[in-house]
Amino acid sequence: MSTLITKVRQKQLSQLIEKGKRIDGRGLTDFREFKIEEGLIERAEGSARLLLGKTDVLVGVKIETGEPFPDTPNEGVLTVNAELVPLASASFEPGPPDESSIELARIVDRGIRESKAIDNEKLCIEAGKKVFVVFVDVYVLNHDGNLIDASALAAVAALINTKMPNYEIKDGEVIIKQGYTPLPLKSRPITITVGKLGDKLLLDAGLEEEQVMDARISLAINEEGNICAVQKGGSGYFTPQQIIEASKLAQEKAVELRKKLKW
Amino acid sequence: MSTLITKVRQKQLSQLIEKGKRIDGRGLTDFREFKIEEGLIERAEGSARLLLGKTDVLVGVKIETGEPFPDTPNEGVLTVNAELVPLASASFEPGPPDESSIELARIVDRGIRESKAIDNEKLCIEAGKKVFVVFVDVYVLNHDGNLIDASALAAVAALINTKMPNYEIKDGEVIIKQGYTPLPLKSRPITITVGKLGDKLLLDAGLEEEQVMDARISLAINEEGNICAVQKGGSGYFTPQQIIEASKLAQEKAVELRKKLKW
Amino acid sequence: MSTLITKVRQKQLSQLIEKGKRIDGRGLTDFREFKIEEGLIERAEGSARLLLGKTDVLVGVKIETGEPFPDTPNEGVLTVNAELVPLASASFEPGPPDESSIELARIVDRGIRESKAIDNEKLCIEAGKKVFVVFVDVYVLNHDGNLIDASALAAVAALINTKMPNYEIKDGEVIIKQGYTPLPLKSRPITITVGKLGDKLLLDAGLEEEQVMDARISLAINEEGNICAVQKGGSGYFTPQQIIEASKLAQEKAVELRKKLKW
Amino acid sequence: MIDKQEKLIDKKGIRLDGRKADELRPLKLEVGVLPNADGSAYIEHGKNKILVGVFGPREMHPKHLSRPDRMVLRCRYHMAPFSVQERKSPAPSRREVELSKVIREALEPALFLEMYPRTGIDIFVEILQADGGTRCASITAAALALADSGIPMRDLVVACAAGKVDDTVVLDLYDAEDKLGVADVPVAYMPNLNAVTLLQMDGILTHAEFEKAVNMAIDGCKKIYALQKEALKTKYMHIKEETQEEVEE
Amino acid sequence: MIDKQEKLIDKKGIRLDGRKADELRPLKLEVGVLPNADGSAYIEHGKNKILVGVFGPREMHPKHLSRPDRMVLRCRYHMAPFSVQERKSPAPSRREVELSKVIREALEPALFLEMYPRTGIDIFVEILQADGGTRCASITAAALALADSGIPMRDLVVACAAGKVDDTVVLDLYDAEDKLGVADVPVAYMPNLNAVTLLQMDGILTHAEFEKAVNMAIDGCKKIYALQKEALKTKYMHIKEETQEEVEE
Amino acid sequence: MIDKQEKLIDKKGIRLDGRKADELRPLKLEVGVLPNADGSAYIEHGKNKILVGVFGPREMHPKHLSRPDRMVLRCRYHMAPFSVQERKSPAPSRREVELSKVIREALEPALFLEMYPRTGIDIFVEILQADGGTRCASITAAALALADSGIPMRDLVVACAAGKVDDTVVLDLYDAEDKLGVADVPVAYMPNLNAVTLLQMDGILTHAEFEKAVNMAIDGCKKIYALQKEALKTKYMHIKEETQEEVEE
């Protein structure tokens, strides 16, 4: 893979982090600049594009009607899919989703699902028969590290931006009416990924930093500061103390981002 | 691929064509001898086998009932599939359709569809619920060049030969009755592919000639001499003048073939 | 494949068999010790694990409701699947079923289906609309030869062990009630595979013996001693005399096993 | 649904298609029908219409499938979508995968695989129309296609089924007998070696019936074997004539 | 269902979106938009929004696809699931496979493939939003992305469709005209070589209408060609400015 | 549908299956259960029944996946079709792909990957019956299977979940608690290194609850760790006895 960096560069990055510094001058818990553009895809029911440094993620939301799951007959259905689009990195290849894109989709999915972000019961059209299905498609357009936080943020921004078609039921048929209603949301979770290198924790790792990190832990945090979903990744480990520390760090950063985002 | 020819042979073929001649003695716009055998597959609702020189294409048509597309609730459905059967050439491999067979199927499909060859509304059984589905399966049995024209011709011949089951509707169920009706056709398009080498145009290229051609353009022509579908293929180009020339050539040849075929 | 044995070992095995002897001391028509454990998988409607020497096969049976086939509207549906689980042998690879596992599944399937082991009409809930579907999943956990006989035996043992949910139909809906009924069985076929090496026939070949055998023939035998399904396998051949001999051998061994099993 | 009580054989022992119990369906065999293949054959066996093309011995692709000590034979049995009553998806079914395997194993005993190490032969069987007994007709045609390709063979392989219909053991079941009959026993056979290379059975038979069916199928094979040799001769005579013509010109 | 009788062009010759018959939709072209790609471009053509990234020339993967005498161009045309009215499955459709092929063949004549033997170039086209004419806009953007990657080109390739709507031949059909119109003729063109590198047609046209449509499309291409060159200039000026700034610092 | 209001813990703090909040389900661990695998283990954890086989270190297949500087660990977590209430298709689901990844990453810290360059180890996890907490039980068994294979390890990895049911943080959720509870926190741990190698969470917890759950899960891990060592000892004693018997013979 052409995105691998040299051993020398790895050493340089590691030594900086061990001193509490970073290659781009940020502090260990600083995020890169980010910008959210909403509604770029007029044809989708919702969309948002997030630039986090040079990481670029576009999320489109489509709403269609479909059948509910048998065990939740009066709830809408959420489906999250992630594409590591091959133009985003020389290391991404076209083809069916691999384990990285599946993990990414499932982390984004759990952040939304476990925080009960969508008011699923309001998506029910006819219990057991017809509900709205919300398709969240995460489209990574440029990979410069921290795809998890960028994708999760962009997905929630797209949901906030999503409009639902109005409808009425006539003779058992769903008739789509003029006009839209916002998608009913109950929560706006923010996912923060904490990287670990030796005894240091850091936030918003860039692409090169990700290659020297031992491991990462991602936490979805809701408005109350509660934890809604967690995922450890990477081939290294955390001590129990580091996990508690990481959890606090994520909660603080979520508060900070929430203010910036006015979420 | 074992069907690739040598550079020497390529040069020989090219030089001939540049002089307006061909390796098998034909003129540039001459077709090879062809023969159509209809009804070979009694089990299919329609079938035809076309021999064009040594190119050998068998088309089978099956008719089944199915659902219409939501945007055309009172029209039948046409599905065209092409198989480059591996016994037809050492260069064909078993497996799911590749881009060549998909392009072939889509050119044949468009020739039929855009010329409105099939009277689709007569294939509707119950609007929005049940229609006839026409499966056209193109089966290439020997590849000796010009698969597009051979497949398109064989497909239309098979449709002409196709019989539709009689039916009646009893208590909302479709009951297949005895006897058959011919498939309702409104047009019999003929597809002509024009090859280009330098400033020369030629028709019905053989397998070896296809390997020296710059590009090809295929035109489906209906009874009125109108153009119903066009596809340029190959890694070379045409000048705008050559395209107009090719279009006229195709129209003339279609008239000629139409007479021979009594279509 | 790491399970291939050396030429020297092959020669040794062959010479023994030609003398009517076997590497583990068995006679040519002796089976290895076997043990059946039933009901291991409480969550499945039926299950059985068979140890035949070191060959280890687990079969689970699931029963669900589904649609009947159009040509048998008042019969339940049987679906047999076999997995050569990769932990069973260094030569098994994860992935979709290959020709070996498909052949294994189809031999097991035919033994059950052709002997009419399951009373299919009793699995009909509502003719043409809803029937019970019996999924038989053969799971090979350790491969030490004779997977066919082991899988077929384990499958029938699992079916004997299978309980069907009670149900009633209320307003056209199937309501699952408390309690279970045994799956209605009409026959308990036993499949015996006869190996051939030169002019010798042998039963229950071990993994190494299978690699020196010319060919095999598997016969499913019912309670009446009739033959219900046959499959020759392997790249060698049988003489017609050997086939008749093999058929008798299988029938005798089936009687013997039937006694041991109390089937 | 067809009434299973209906008789498939009348009181005079005549089957629904007019044949006697031990009578073959009409056969037509042609050799060398595909210009691009190294060997080919076409068979009409009853209403079965089957085309077989052989490529090789040639380099294996992908390479890692080749064997240092022998040739690898590959076989694909494939049904055209329009070959059966209800359109078949072109993707290979489990049935097609199994039949590809047993057909390959029926042909392997005829070849000297160790003579062509590191190479492969591909046999492509295309069922253009199916009418019961396609696997047998495929083997009969594939053996001809192999012979046509010029590869040395121990013998031709020829195949035919017998089975039980109503109460009678009969030869060469066609589609309706296959579906409504009691049992079907396809057999492939090499007459010169007295070798059975394919044997399957669906249905229920006593040992005696099974033995009778196997023997009847082998008799059928022997008759078709004569037609195979005829077809090869026709091809060779054809070639001889062409060569003579060329000489005379 | 939309009433097909509805007029798409009014009595004054104005189309439903306000354009005249020979008027292009608004276009926006940007070059060098993807940091990780070797070349990239973004196009908005009407409401089409398309991103193209180019990687290479680089070693082919898998290797056996490389050619000893030339570079291999690969192209993937892919629609984002949210780019169309009804969500599209991410798996490639037959339409996407075909368009990938014709787009590749439209671009190949612009490249000196024999200059880079044993290598490959990958062009990834992502339709973020579709509004009719995506294949043309994809080619226009892909040519820019190739130029941005620095690979030598004979000329830019530029594409535009013409077609017939109601009774009129018009330029650059948008979604509704594409669906309800009579015919659509997408054309790709290299102005300096007077070379048509893509040509397709759906619908029914007389020879005269076809000729008119092809010529109108080529005229449209020439206009977009000017915008392509503009976009490249903007990129180079941008780079020049950046370099100057660095020098001044 | 099950009534979500139903209490899963009674007033005395006893759970529906009779356990106290911090009580593990019954466990049974066996080592060396598969004759053909290089290492293997079987676990019953509650009603979970899981078999793990390890093959390697061995040559990687396909070769291009191997690494010049280290061993590659591959892991497949797979559910038998009959392991769950509704039959599971044998094709790998997205959930299985994700769990394969996190289980692999939970085991990697225990191995000296750099010691075996260019080789690969395959871990095959088969869920024969699922009852909540399969990923934890899989890790516990996989670590034993690795140890059984004889590969050097930094420590065993052991896994256990804690979670929140009704208002209480409890250890080792079973199926019903997993589905109806508030949160589930699976943890994998290497006791000698004090290293958490897997951590996931579904549900909603306060920071304090999360901390409590993590610590309770680690305590659970430590208890299971003792059982793991016991199981290995049993295996070794078994081997020792066998060896002695052989000597005595």
Give pLDDT tens digits for C102-113: 999 999 999 999
Residue type, F71: M
- From the list B3, B44, B85, the residue facing D126 with the nearest CB is B85
Domain limits for position D49? 27-58+71-240
Q: For residue E34, which residues of chain A lie inside 8 Å, CB to CB?
A: 56, 87-88, 141-142
Residue F6: inside a domain: no
Task: Extract the tokens encoding B111.
Answer: 């020739």
Closest CA to A146 of A206, A103, A194, A189: A206
Residue D38: inside a domain: yes
- Which residue of A3, A40, A43, A136 is the best one to mutate when testing the E interface, meaning the one whose CB has the most E CBs within 10 A? A43
* Whether D47 contacts D32, CB under 8 Å: no
Query: What SS3 string covers chain A?
Result: CCCCCCHHHHHHHHHHHHCCCCCCCCCCCCCCCEEEEECCCCCCCEEEEEEECCEEEEEEEEEEEECCCCCCCCCCEEEEEEEECHHHCCCCCCCCCCHHHHHHHHHHHHHHHHCCCECHHHHEEECCCEEEEEEEEEEEEECCCCHHHHHHHHHHHHHHCCEEEEEEEECCEEEEEEEEEECCECCCCEEEEEEEECCEEEECCCHHHHCCCCEEEEEEECCCCCEEEEEEECCCCECHHHHHHHHHHHHHHHHHHHHHHCC
Residue E18: inside a domain: no
Residue type, C181: T
Phi, psi of E20 (to 5 degrees): -80, 170
CA separation, residue D145 to residues C233, D34, D80, D151, D232 (Å): 23, 10, 19, 10, 10
Between chains, do F49 and C41 touch, taking CB under 8 Å as contact? yes
Q: What is the DSSP letter of C256?
A: H
Q: For residue F55, which residues of chain C lie inside 8 Å, CB to CB?
A: 86-87, 90
pTM: 0.95
Residue E11: inside a domain: no
SS3 assignment, position B154: helix
Closest CA to C50 of C188, C148, C183: C148
Q: What is the C-alpha separation between E155 and D144, in angstroms, rounded?
A: 55
Which residue in C has a C-alpha nearest to residue F84's C-alpha? C43
Give residue B7's pLDDT band: very low, low, confident or very high (50, 70, 90).
confident
Which residue in E has a C-alpha nearest to residue A65's C-alpha? E86
To the nearest whole Å, the CA of D29 is away from the closest chain B CA by 16
Half-sphere exposure of B59 (CA within 13 A, CB side): 35
Task: Extract the tokens encoding B116.
Answer: 């409105």
- Which residue of B45, B55, B87 is the best one to mutate when testing the D interface, meaning the one whose CB has the most D CBs within 10 A? B87
Q: Which residues of chain F have pLDDT under 50?
A: 1-3
pLDDT in tens, chain A (263 residues): 345 678 889 999 999 999 999 999 999 999 999 999 999 999 999 999 999 999 999 999 999 999 999 999 999 999 999 999 999 999 999 999 999 999 999 999 999 999 999 999 999 999 999 999 999 999 999 999 999 999 999 999 999 999 998 888 887 778 888 888 999 999 999 999 999 999 999 999 999 999 999 999 999 999 999 999 999 999 999 999 999 999 999 999 999 999 999 99
User: Do E and A touch, counting CB pairs below 8 Å (3 needed)?
Assistant: yes
Number of folded domains that form chain B: 1
B88 close contact with D: CB closer than 8 A: yes
Higher per-residue confidence, D243 vs B39: B39
- What is the DSSP track for chain F? ---TTS-SB-TTS-BTTS--TTPPPPEEEEES--SSSSEEEEEEETTEEEEEEEEEEEE-SSGGG-BTTB-EEEEEEEE-TTSSSSPPPSSPPHHHHHHHHHHHHHHGGGB-GGGSTTEEEEEEEEEEE--S-HHHHHHHHHHHHHHHHT--BSS--EEEEEEEETTEEEES--HHHHHHSSEEEEEEEEGGGTEEEEEEEEEEE-HHHHHHHHHHHHHHHHHHHHHHHHHHHHHHHHHHHHHHHHHH-
Residue F125: inside a domain: yes
D142 alpha carbon, distance to own chain's centre: 6
Half-sphere exposure of D31 (CA within 13 A, CB side): 24
What is the reported pLDDT for A3?
A: 54
Between chains, do F195 and A237 touch, taking CB under 8 Å as contact? yes
Binding partners of B (≥3 Cβ pairs within 8 A): D, E
Q: What is the C-alpha separation between F53 and F71, in angstroms, rounded?
A: 18
To the nearest whole Å, the CA of E206 is away from the closest chain A CA by 35
CB environment C49-85: b (16+ within 10 A), e (fewer) = bbbbbebbbbbbbbbebeebeeebeebbbbbbbbbbb
Q: For residue C58, which residues of chain F lie inside 8 Å, CB to CB?
A: 80, 128
Residue D201: inside a domain: yes
Q: What is the C-alpha separation between F164 and F205, in angstroms, rounded?
A: 8
To the nearest whole Å, the CA of A113 is away from the closest chain F CA by 9
Binding partners of C (≥3 Cβ pairs within 8 A): D, F
Q: For residue F119, which residues of chain C lie inside 8 Å, CB to CB?
A: none
Between chains, do C237 and D214 touch, taking CB under 8 Å as contact? no
Residue C11: inside a domain: no
pLDDT tens per residue across span B141-183: 999 999 999 999 999 999 999 999 888 888 777 888 888 899 9
Question: Which ipTM value was assigned to this complex?
Answer: 0.95
To the nearest whole Å, the CA of B91 is away from the closest chain D CA by 10
Between chains, do B243 and E97 touch, taking CB under 8 Å as contact? no
Residue C126: inside a domain: yes
What is the reported pLDDT for D246?
A: 61
- From the list A71, A105, A238, the residue facing F196 with the nearest CB is A238
What is the reported pLDDT for D249?
A: 54
pLDDT tens per residue across span D150-188: 999 999 999 999 999 999 999 999 999 999 999 999 999
Number of inter-chain CB pairs under 8 A, B vs E: 96
Number of folded domains that form chain F: 1
The residue assigned the tokens 């499938």 is D65
Using left for φ > 0, alpha for ψ between -120 and 50, and beta otherwise, residue A140 falls in beta
Residue D248: inside a domain: no
What's the CATH number where D197 sits?
3.30.230.70
What's the CATH number where C175 sits?
3.30.230.70
Chain C stretch 51-70, residues whose beta carbon is closer than 8 A to a beta carbon of chain F:
54, 56, 58, 60-62, 64
User: Do A and B touch, counting CB pairs below 8 Å (3 needed)?
Assistant: no
Binding partners of A (≥3 Cβ pairs within 8 A): E, F
The residue assigned the tokens 């008789």 is D7
What is the reported pLDDT for C171?
A: 79
Between chains, do E109 and B236 touch, taking CB under 8 Å as contact? yes
To the nearest whole Å, the CA of E129 is away from the closest chain A CA by 6
Contact residues of E toward A, CB < 8 A: 34-37, 40, 47, 49, 51-53, 55, 58, 76, 78, 80-87, 90-91, 122, 124, 126, 128-131
Contact residues of F toward A, CB < 8 A: 1, 94-95, 97-98, 100-102, 105, 108-109, 185, 190, 193-207, 210-211, 214-215, 218
Task: Extract the tokens encoding A1.
Answer: 């893979």
Between chains, do A135 and E84 touch, taking CB under 8 Å as contact? no
Residues counted in chain D: 249
Residue B10: inside a domain: no
Judging by DSSP bridges, how do beta strands C124-126 and C130-142 pair with one another?
Answer: antiparallel
- Which residue of C59, C79, C87, C159 is the best one to mutate when testing the F interface, meaning the one whose CB has the most F CBs within 10 A? C87
Q: For residue B97, which residues of chain D lie inside 8 Å, CB to CB?
A: 90
pLDDT tens per residue across span F196-221: 999 999 999 999 999 999 999 999 99
Residue A184: inside a domain: yes
Bridge partner residues of B35 (DSSP): B51
Residue B20: inside a domain: no
B112 close contact with E: CB closer than 8 A: no
* Whether A59 contacts A81, CB under 8 Å: no
Residue A138: inside a domain: yes
Task: Extract the tokens encoding F77.
Answer: 């977590």
Q: For residue D206, which residues of chain C lie inside 8 Å, CB to CB?
A: 225-227
Q: Which residues of chain C have pLDDT under 70?
A: 1-4
CA separation, residue D33 to residues B54, D43, D79, E6 (Å): 11, 10, 19, 56
User: Do A and F touch, counting CB pairs below 8 Å (3 needed)?
Assistant: yes
Q: Which residues of chain D have pLDDT under 70?
A: 1-5, 245-249
Residue B114: inside a domain: yes
Residue E233: inside a domain: yes
Q: Which residues of chain E have pLDDT under 50?
A: 1-3
User: Do F and B touch, counting CB pairs below 8 Å (3 needed)?
Assistant: no
* Whether F204 contacts F182, CB under 8 Å: yes
What is the reported pLDDT for C165?
A: 87
Q: For residue F53, which residues of chain C lie inside 8 Å, CB to CB?
A: 86-88
Task: Extract the tokens encoding C258.
Answer: 């039937």
Residue A7: inside a domain: no
The answer, yes or no, to whether the previous bond of F62 is cis (omega within 30 of 0) is yes
